[in-house]
Structure 1
Amino acid sequence: MVLSVNRKIIAVLELCRISNLPTVISNCAAGYLISKDYLNWDLALIFIGASLLYSGGMAMNDVIDLRYDKQYKTDRPIARSAISHRFALVLTLFFLFVGTLILLFSGSSIPFVGALLLSITIYNFIHKKTSSAIFVMGLCRSLLYLIAGYSLGQNNDILIWAIILGLYTAGITLVARGEDSGNESGICGLILVALPFFLSLYFIIVNSFISIPIVISSLLFLFWIAYCFRVIKSKIEGRIGKSVSLMIAGMCLIDSMAVSHAIGFSGLYFVIFLPFVVLFQRKISGT
């Protein structure tokens, strides 16, 4: 009985791709700090609400993709019958509903919260039908910044970082597809993935200002992306999936750069999220 319950819990964690959840928390904290430069209790509600929406979106992905997963991704929880399709559907609706309510209660902008819920739903329904769905996925990440920051603060720099985070997210998928198929989409993906570093460089030049946290966070991001591409070019088994997971973890370093530019040394705290994400991904797949 206990073993059965434990297996179901693990299956739910896999369904929700819980290993990537620290990146959601990191994104929200970064968006908040860029705009307000201090922490308040409403951020805790944003963490919970955004985490539930993320988990609901991931569960929805498996609910909708069941037929595909049964043929090509038989290790997914529903496809291997670790949890039922109906249970996953109920979990999806519960997470999305409660997550939305909590975000609204936190004081986040109603349009941004509604846009996130709509983007999650649209992405899950179209991602197998059109390659442009990757930009909808990127929009989901951008909206985390805006929900946590722009609707609560006054710093317009968050708009730029939000857009770059979204393009980086889209670039991850393009890199993986290009490497897998050998087409030119990988080059476009490389450009998008490198954008956060170039934005950091742009702010250094335009503002004529550079600091230790900006240098550290920018170089860490550059080295991390170089490592990810070393993995994707290697011959190891599962290299593409591993590199995608590592680049997702790299979102924490984008947060580090963004906050370092906004308020200084506090940005370096976001580097701590990186090893946690990588460690969690070893236990539960992030893709």
Structure 2
Amino acid sequence: MTTVSDVLELVRAPAALTVLGDTAAGAQVAAGGFDRRGWMLPLASVAIYSGGMALNDWADRDLDAVERPERPIPSGRISPRRALAVAAGLGAVGLALAAAGGGRRGLAVAAPLVASVALYDLVAKPTTAGPLAMAACRGLDVLLGAGGSPRALPAALAIAVHTLGVTALSRGEVHGGSAADTALSLVATGAAAAAVDSVGPGVQTAAARLGGAAGSAVYLAAALPGQLAVVDDPTPKRVRDATRAGIGSVVPLQAAIVARGGSLAIAAGLMAVHATIRQRGRRGRKPGTGPARGDVT
């Protein structure tokens, strides 16, 4: 019998915290924050992201039966049909929330975002274009918060570049990392941090610049150690740890962008989310428990 816990595991529920700041970053740099209905856009992001995770496991069900038999579908806790229904339902909810929170402009971004998620899961993921496809998904998620405004393009690019590096690195979660993917992740992390100062050219206060720099520093401190560890020891465990850290480190990057766009209060809230993710990770890490499930793949 499928339980709520099984469904939450299928959609990687804790990882959904990492997408809340995408739309906040887009809204902040494009319009100084959300309008009165904009609070629905982060929820749209969570629904689309979670649906994508369910679709990912549906598409990988045969491979997971060999490499990750403990996952909900190959272990028999969730049937493939039910997993596909969860994916479709969450995608539909995400589109509805995007339309409610962002109107036609929100839906105009959310529709290609959902299509991009499906393209990654069903077609692009095992190919060399996989990291680029995932990067496009997160860039579109930032633009969702901005209603597609070109003013949010630098912020969307920063998040996309970060995602490119993390996704490339994650390809070694089962069989170990490659030097090329590790190098790409390091370059992407540095480029994303360097891009923060360019996301809010209209906001030149000392507080905004300092907040952006502080957020970038926290981002680098969260992402780089794991990646550097993979350079020395590219084993699957090191890659999984670095991938998990990379996924979580996007939150201080979002906070840096929001702060650079002029909202220190929202940036502080995102930093609190980051602290929650790190604390949960420390509690949940159990030495010697075998292969991790993987957060991207």
Q: TM-score range by the shorter chain?
A: 0.7 to 0.9
Alignment partner of 2:81 out of 71, 86, 89: 86
The code of the aligned residue for 2:99 comes to L
Alignment partner of 2:161 out of 167, 171, 177: 167
What do you get for the CA RMSD once the two structures are aligned? 2.8
SS in 2 for 1:250: helix
What's the offset of the Cα at 1:52? 1.3
What's the offset of the Cα at 1:237? 7.5
Q: Which has the higher contact order (CA 8 A, sep 6+)?
A: 1
In 1, Cα distance between equivalents of 2:144 and 2:201: 29
Alignment partner of 1:182 out of 174, 178, 184: 178
The code of the aligned residue for 2:159 comes to L
In 2, Cα distance between equivalents of 1:121 and 1:279: 31
- Unpaired stretches in structure 1, ≥5 consecutive residues: none
Aligned equivalent of 1:158? 152
Q: Is the 8 A contact 2:113 2:137 kept in 1?
A: yes
Q: Percent identity among equivalent residues?
A: 20
TM value normalised by structure 1: 0.86
Aligned equivalent of 1:278? 278
The code of the aligned residue for 1:183 comes to A
What's the offset of the Cα at 1:212? 2.9
Aligned equivalent of 1:63? 58
What's the offset of the Cα at 1:203? 6.8
What's the offset of the Cα at 1:79? 0.9
In 1, Cα distance between equivalents of 2:130 and 2:227: 23
Q: Is the 8 A contact 1:119 1:136 kept in 2?
A: yes
Task: Decide which moves more: 190-199 or 41-50.
Answer: 41-50
Task: Decide which moves more: 205-214 or 22-31.
Answer: 205-214
Q: CA deviation digits over 1:61-116, x for unaligned, max 9?
A: 11111110101111211011111112111111111122212212221433311110
The code of the aligned residue for 1:46 comes to L
In 2, Cα distance between equivalents of 1:44 and 1:205: 25
Task: Decide which moves more: 79-88 or 98-107.
Answer: 98-107
Aligned equivalent of 1:222? 220
1:269 aligns with 2:264: no
SS in 2 for 1:42: coil
Task: Decide which moves more: 244-253 or 167-176.
Answer: 167-176
Aligned equivalent of 1:145? 142
1:35 aligns with 2:34: no
